[in-house]
């Protein structure tokens, strides 16, 4: 088997459909609404490939569960705040070098499928 340097892995959580309190109008504050979350995470995969062990890999299942709990139990006025909190949650895993979070609020505007915001963060290189 080849000993190529694997480098960086990209993991995507696609179309995570959740319900939460999101919005500034009284009706939005009283009734949960749908949000659709997409997350891109990158990490150095070398150790996971070498050891073939979950302890060396980025555990996306744990991150997904944390996102679900945080979003479904939270209340948010702005999409910006929700996206920022989800991004911060993803970046708490020290294995994540880069993350991007996009959150859609379906039917937020008349005649539009959805409104979305995307935020990203990159871990600064350690000396």
Q: What's the CATH number where 75 sits?
A: 3.30.1130.10
SS3 97: strand
Token match 């070098």: residue?
97
Domain count, the chain: 1
Asked if 39 and 101 count as a contact pair (C-beta separation under 8 A), the reply is: yes
| Torsions phi, psi for 22 (to 5 deg) | -145, 125
pTM for the model stands at: 0.89
pLDDT, tens digit (0-9, with 9 covering 90-100), for 47-103 = 998 889 989 999 999 999 999 999 999 999 999 999 999 999 999 999 999 999 999
In a domain, 127, yes or no: no
Q: Which two tokens stand for residue 36?
A: 């659709």
In a domain, 109, yes or no: yes
In a domain, 59, yes or no: yes
């Amino acid at each position: 088997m080849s000993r190529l340097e694997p480098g960086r892995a990209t993991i995507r959580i696609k179309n995570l459909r959740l319900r939460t309190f999101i919005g500034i109008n009284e009706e939005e504050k009283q009734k949960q609404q749908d949000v659709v979350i997409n997350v891109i995470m990158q990490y150095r995969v070398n150790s996971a490939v070498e050891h073939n062990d979950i302890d060396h890999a980025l555990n996306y299942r744990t991150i997904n569960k944390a996102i679900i709990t945080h979003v479904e139990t939270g209340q948010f006025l702005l999409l910006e705040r929700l996206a920022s909190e989800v991004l911060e949650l993803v970046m708490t895993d020290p294995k994540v070098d880069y993350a991007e979070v996009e959150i859609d609020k379906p039917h937020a505007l008349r005649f539009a499928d959805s409104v979305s915001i995307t935020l990203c963060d990159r871990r600064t290189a350690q000396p």
